[in-house]
Structure 1
Amino acid sequence: MTEHLLRFVAGGLIVSAFAIIGDMLRPKSFAGLLGAAPSVALATLGIAVVQHGPHYVAAESWTMIYGAIALACYSLAVCHLLMRFRLAALPATILAFAVWLVVAFGLLAGFGGAA
């Protein structure tokens, strides 16, 4: 119960900080980029460093980086499938999900989770 409360408070504080930073930036669309994912990741890593130590958090951060790279490749694939090949949204996202899986697990298998 205490861990859930700590995650709630830490996540809320970090989300609020990112929201304030996003509100100060131009264009306002940056506020959405800074909203949830970075703040939840930072809260999770902060709690993990206390519970498991820095080596565990280093491995976790690398897997987050691999997931972000895979998401960028997924987004690029969806854009190409929608714009160039004129696929509908559902088939494009399903095909691009395969790209995400290959990139994410390829990076994890190739580089591992350790720093």
Structure 2
Amino acid sequence: MSEYVVRFLLGGAVVSAFAMLGDILRPKTFAGLFGAAPSVALATLGIAVYRHGVDYAGLQSRAMIAGAVALAVYSVVVCHLLIRARLRAAPATMLSLAVWLMIVCGLLAVAGGQP
């Protein structure tokens, strides 16, 4: 239970710091970008280092990087399917999700992680 409290407090503090950074930067759309994912990832990695050691945190960070790269490709594929192929949202999302899964599993296999 105490791990969840630490994660909550640490995550909240880092989210607040990133939100302040996003509020300072221009354009204001950076506030949303900096508000969630990087801060939660940093809090999770901090807890992983503390609880499980640096090797486990390294594995977690490789998985996060693979997921981020796959998400970028997913976003591009969704946009192309929606705009150029004129697919509806549900089929475009499902096809792109399959692309995301293939990319993230491939990247994890190459990086030595466990897909």
TM-score range relative to shorter protein: over 0.9
Q: Distance in 2 between matches of 1:36 and 1:49?
A: 20
Check if 1:58 corresponds to 2:51: no
- Is the contact between residue 7 and residue 44 of structure 2 (CA under 8 Å) also seen in structure 1? yes
Task: Give how far 1:48 is off.
Answer: 0.7
Q: Deviation above 4 Å: which 4+ runs of structure 1?
A: none
Q: Distance in 1 between matches of 2:64 and 2:112?
A: 12
1:74 match: 74
2:98 match: 98
What percentage of aligned pairs have identical amino acids? 63
Report how many residues are paired: 114
Task: Give how far 1:113 is off.
Answer: 2.2
Q: Which structure 1 segments of 5+ residues have no match?
A: none
1:6 match: 6
Q: Distance in 2 between matches of 1:109 and 1:62?
A: 11
Q: Which structure 2 segments of 5+ residues have no match?
A: none
Task: Give how far 1:110 is off.
Answer: 2.2
Give the alignment's TM-score, normalised by structure 2: 0.95
Give the alignment's TM-score, normalised by structure 1: 0.95
Q: Distance in 2 between matches of 1:91 and 1:51?
A: 41
